[in-house]
Structure 1
Amino acid sequence: MVPFVDLKVQYLSIKEEIDTAVLGVLESTQFVLGKEVAAFEELFTAYTQTSHVMGVNTGTSALHLSLLAAGIGRGDEVITTPFTFIATVSAIDYTGATPVFVDIDPASFTIDPAKIEAAITPRTKAILPVHLYGQPADMDPIMEIAKRHGLVVIEDAAQAHGAEYKGRRVGSIGDLGCFSFYPGKNLGAYGEGGAVTTNNPEFARTVKMLRDWGAERKYYHDLKGFNYRLEGIQGAVLKVKMKYIEGWTEARRAVAARYDEALAGTSIRTPTALPDRRHVYHVYAIRDAQRDTLQTFLHDHGVSTGIHYPIPVHLQRAFAELGHKEGDFPHSEAAAREVLSIPMYPELPEDQQDLVIAALKAWPLQ
């Protein structure tokens, strides 16, 4: 069976460095934040082309703290997309604000800027675009709309480490950016992890306080904060991996290019790599009207797959109180019915890529 992802092969390729880094944290006893987290934050600041990075315990926490730092709270509205992992919308809900959905552009799977302005009300305080699957959202019109209406832009870049929009790294374009280092991400910790990026020193100061019980010095709490700190071991792991992230990204893009070429001319719809953006392929999501049957077919032919995501957030029971129904966001709903993620990771061997390609070409409903 071709695995959907293989985290062990990457670990084995850098095992000596990782083991040394982890043992160093154990010997230092700096288990929460500390010098390894600070060193990683410095590296990630340069990588994201931002001025400040604050490591936190999860990507969800990064979203939550970014919203709070931007002043989002009860009675406010935040515009985002329903075609995302539920954490994007849950973080809005945690603040007491109301998520307001805008449908996706079906070519990019990201929020459609042409539909944003119609969703703005006097209660709107922010736009939260999602760089889904490693594809950047169309940021220029989003930023222009936000500027015209006095809105904050918070980028959900949880799946888009190193992705670029017109030469700019995601996480540096909006007012704040949010990253996840969940193990399967393009830059993954060996446990949970996340980060907030910003060029705004006041936002940075607030996030630093909020992640550590609202204090700038111990036991002096100026804000009602949280225990959202990044652990030292995760900082050490991520610091090691920063040396390799660009090589891994280009390896992903090479696998994607091979899939693109091999599947051209078939009925399978491959991801659209837009010319002004650097897609980093957190997942390689194909589309087919017979998705569920195709998934079974691929499994029977020895290919593991995933679905990201089968139910858009506006139709999830957890957010039933928003009152949405099927048909409200047709492009998101169509994507949820049709997308199928095939094996994609930097170390995916060519012979296994060949098996994936052969199985897809043998798909009978071409």
Structure 2
Amino acid sequence: MIPFLNLHKVNEPHLRAIEEAISRVLRSGRFILGKELENFESSFASYCRAKHCIGVASGMDAIFLILKALSLPPDSEVIVPGNTYIASVLPLSQLNLRPVFAEPDAHTMTLDPAKIKEKISRYTRAILCVDLYGRCCDMDPIFKIASQFDLKVITDAAQSHGALYKNKKTGSIAFATAFSFYPTKNLGATGDAGAITTNDHALAEKIRYLRNYGSLTRYQHRFQGVNSRMDEIQAAVLNAKLPFLDAQNKRRRRIAARYLAEIKLKDLILPPGDQINQDVWHLFVVRHPMRSELAAFLHSKGIETQIHYPVAVHKQPAYSRYMHLSLPLTECLHEQILSLPLNTALRDEEVTHIIRSVNAFEATSL
């Protein structure tokens, strides 16, 4: 069986460096808000071409802290893509903000700028873009709309570490950007971890307070904050792996290029290839009207696939108040999408087997 993702194999080239990093932290006796985090924040800010990076406990916390720092009034509306993971939306609910779901672009499956304007009301305060599957949203028209209506633009870049939009790196494009370093991400920790990047000094300073109980000086609390700090072990692991991120993204692009060039299955919709913008291919997501049958066929060929994501947020029981919404494209995507294995542990012969198996589906299934 070719697993969808084998984290042991993905991390194997870095195992010695990871072990040394963890050992260094254990010997230091400093586990929270120490030098390892400072070093990672500096390195990742530089990597993203951003002025500030603040390490936090998770990607979802990163979104929460950005929104909390903005101090938006209760019931303010934030436009979000219908096609996203629930972690993009939960922080809004925690802050008594209202998600307004907009349809994606059918080709890129990211937020469609043309669908944003019709969702804006006098209560709208921000746009939350999601760089889904490793591809940056089309930001220029989004910024144009945001400027017209005085809206903040925030990016959820949990899946797009190192991606480019018109030669600008994600993490430096929006007003603020949230990252996740969950172990499966392109840059993955060994547990939960996240970060925020921004070029706004005031926002960065406030988030540094908020992540640590509203405090920068022990027992002095300027804000009502939370406990959301990236620990020293995760920072050390990320420090060890960050220098290899671009090379690993390059390997992902090579695999994606083979899929795009060699998969020829009728009725299979492939994602768009790299052009001006550089996708980092966190996931390779295809569409097929016989998704379940295709997944079963590939499983019979020893290939594990996954679905990202099978149920749209507005159709989840947790968001039952939105179940009445009609988002036909979002709902169609969630019925047809299938993620093929794409990671740095895949061998060339495994990629070949995946391509041949996908192409063989039609002849055996009809």
Normalised to the residue count of structure 1, the TM-score between the two structures is 0.97
- Report if aligned partners of 1:65, 1:211 keep a CA contact under 8 Å in 2: yes
CA contact (8 A) 1:4 1:304 kept: yes
Q: How much does 1:206 deviate? A: 0.9
- 1:68–1:95: 8 Å Cα contact kept in structure 2? yes
Residue aligning to 1:242: 242
Q: CA deviation at 1:276?
A: 2.7
Matched, 1:290 2:290: yes
Aligned pair partner of 1:331 in 323, 329, 336? 329
Tell me which moved more, 156-165 or 73-82. Answer: 73-82
What secondary structure does 2:130 align onto? coil
2:359 matches 1:361: yes
Aligned residue runs from structure 1 range 111-122, under 5 A: 111-122=111-122
Secondary structure of 1:128's counterpart equals: strand
The alpha carbon displacement at 1:267 in A equals 3.1
1:30 Cα deviation from its structure 2 partner: 1.4
Q: Superposition pairs for residues 176-325 of structure 1, below 5 Å?
A: 176-264=176-264, 266-273=266-273, 275-325=275-325
2:341 corresponding residue in structure 1: 343
Per the TM alignment, residue 73 of structure 1 is displaced from its structure 2 partner at its CA by 4.1
- Preserved contact between residue 78 and residue 124 of structure 2 (Cα < 8 Å): yes
> Which residue of the partner structure matches residue 169 of structure 2?
169
Deviation at 1:57, TM superposition (A): 0.6
1:159-179 Cα offsets, whole Å, 9 max, x none, are 000011111111211110000
Conservation of the 8 A alpha-carbon contact between 2:58 and 2:181:
yes
Alpha-carbon distance, 1:187 to partner: 0.3
Alignment of 1:140-179 (within 5 A): 140-179=140-179
**Matching residue's letter, 1:193:** A
How well do the aligned residues superpose, as a CA RMSD in angstroms? 1.2
Amino acid at match of 2:22: V
Q: Does structure 1 retain, via aligned residues, the 8 Å contact 2:133–2:284? A: yes
State the Cα distance separating 1:71 from its structure 2 match: 2.0
Bigger drift between 181-190 and 352-361 goes to 352-361
Q: How many pairs are equivalent?
A: 364
Name 2:50's counterpart in structure 1.
50
Is structure 2 residue 14 aligned with structure 1 residue 33? no
Asked if the contact 2:267/2:289 (under 8 Å) is kept, the reply is: no
**Partner of 1:90 in structure 2?**
90
List gaps (5 residues or longer) in structure 1: none
The CA distance in 1 between the partners of 2:282 and 2:8, in whole Å, is 17
Aligned counterpart in structure 1 of residue 350 of structure 2, from 331, 347, 352:
352
Letter in 2 for 1:214: G
Give, as a single letter, the amino acid of the residue that structure 1 aligns with 2:361: W
Equivalence for 2:100: 100
Check whether the contact 2:264–2:359 (CA below 8 A) recurs between aligned residues.
no
Q: Distance in 1 between matches of 2:236 and 2:33?
A: 10
**For the Cα contact (< 8 Å) 1:73–1:95, is it kept in 2?**
no
| 1:99-131 superposed Cα distances (whole Å, 9 cap, x missing partner) | 001100010111110111111111111000100
In the alignment, the residues of structure 2 paired with residue 150 and residue 323 of structure 1 have an alpha-carbon distance, to the nearest angstrom, of 29
Q: Distance in 1 between matches of 2:72 and 2:30?
A: 33
Alpha-carbon deviation of 1:265?
A: 6.0
Conserved 8 A contact 2:161-2:186: yes
Q: Which runs of 5+ in 2 are unaligned?
A: none
Are 1:77 and 1:98, in contact at CA under 8 Å, matched by a contact in 2? yes
CA–CA separation in structure 2 for the residues paired with 1:104 and 1:218: 45
1:140-173, CA deviations, whole angstroms, 9 ceiling, x for partnerless residues? 0111111111111110100000011111111211
Q: Secondary structure at the match of 1:116?
A: helix
Q: Deviations over 1:326-347 (max 9, x none)?
A: xx11111111011100111012
User: Partners in 2 of 1:125 and 1:140 — Cα distance?
Assistant: 18
SS of the residue 2:172 aligns to: coil
Encode CA deviations 1:183-242: one digit per residue, 9 max, x unaligned: 000000000000001000011011111100001211111111110000100000000101
Contact 1:37 / 1:55 at 8 angstroms: preserved in 2?
A: yes
CA contact (8 A) 1:52 1:198 kept: yes
TM-score normalised by L of structure 2: 0.97
Which amino acid in 2 is paired with 1:359?
S
Stretch moving more, 88-97 or 274-283: 274-283
Residue-by-residue CA offset, 1:294-336 (whole Å, 9 max, x unaligned): 11111111000010011111111111123534xx111111110
2:77 corresponds to which residue? 77
Q: Residue type of the partner of 1:238? A: L
Q: CA deviation at 1:274?
A: 5.2
The alignment status of 1:132 with 2:138, answered yes or no, reads no
* Structure 1 partner of 2:8: 8
- Measured against aligned partners, the alpha-carbon deviations of 1:80-107 in whole angstroms (never above 9, x if no partner) come to 1111110001111111100001100010
What amino acid does structure 2 have at the position aligned with 1:314? H
Aligned equivalents of 2:242 and 2:116: distance in 1? 35
Q: Within 2, Cα distance between the matches of 1:260 and 1:114?
A: 27
Secondary structure of the equivalent of 2:89?
A: helix
3-state SS of 1:278 partner: coil
